[in-house]
Amino acid sequence: MGSVGTYLPLIAMVLVQLALAGANVLAKLTMAAGMSPYVLLTYRNLIAAIFLAPFAFFFERKTWASISKKTLQSIFLCSIVGATMHQVFYFVGLKYSSATVASALNNTLPAVTFLLAAALNMEPVVGVAGRAKMAGTVLCVVGSMVMTFYTGPVIRTMDSPISWLYVQRTMATEAAADAGGQAAILGAVLVIASTGTLAVWFIIQKKMSKSFASPFTSTALIALMASVQCAIIGVAAEPRLSSWALGLDIRLIGSLYVGLVASGIVITVMSWCIQVRGPVYVSMFSPIMLIAVAIMGWGILDEKTRRKRNWIPTYSCGVVHGALGKGEGPRCHSH
């Protein structure tokens, strides 16, 4: 693989994490403004499917003839696990926690992905590389748990120059509504569950890419199927038509961003990176999102940053996996 092929997946995944950080903050604000996560996810997947359809047609229509029944079954499974289940768990969890905490818990993704890949003989667990990854897995889980359940002192920072009054009122209203109860614990459990479903999608996507390497088409079909699945859940949870109304406000902006960027562009790029570098390589970049969300959360949502003992071990997971990126570790080896 040439220099361009070596660094392109790396650059792509860094940009993916920055885009997902924006999606986290914007989705949190959109749901705080009163939009149901199920409605938001329905629009997200529908917009993504519409956005990707022309790209699939112009660039990959010649591959459509190779779509087999097995491929469709894999795509349907990906839509259930990697789209609907993952997104529902994550967005509902995000609603009941902060964007920073949700991103921290998302750092369990490399650990879960590595364990799944190792169980399926897709990643080595012996030798120096295997021990390093196991150490990274432990640090990853411990750091994420500390980030969630350890409350350190607030770090004094200057007031954000872009913290809007609308955002302050919206977030204050949601904080008052969620005060007390077990909302934070529920949010944490759901976010952790979402990482498990995403890790399963990584594995399925890698296997499917061997027989059908068309990321635009597969992502468009996954999004289309997920939009129907989310719509069924959404109608059951939010039967009122007013809950589905979109205006020229944050609900429309949030729906467009998570649809076009978080699903349309990001999932396509991730599918390509899984295809060329493997599932563990893709999962190892999640710590970048934590740092980006912490900054965006402070700047836009006025979230308070606390001194947590886990900042170093949480990010260490990404460092350990990244150090192995030049070798065969991150790649997917199927036996």
Helix (H/G/I), strand (E/B), else coil: 73: helix
* Burial status of residue 126 (CB atoms within 10 A of its CB: 0-12, 13-18, 19 or more): exposed
pLDDT tens digits along 140-198: 666 655 655 555 555 555 555 555 555 555 555 555 445 445 677 788 888 888 888 98
- With pLDDT > 70 as the criterion, what percentage of the chain qualifies? 66
Spatial distance between the Cα atoms of 163 and 150, rounded to a whole number of angstroms: 26
The tens digit of pLDDT for each residue in 246-304 reads: 888 888 999 999 999 988 899 889 888 888 888 778 877 877 887 787 777 666 666 55
What mean pLDDT, rounded, does the chain reach?
Answer: 76
pLDDT value, residue 300: 66
Contacting residues for 323 by C-beta, under 8 A, at least 6 apart: 132
| pLDDT at position 86 | 92
**pLDDT of 329:** 42
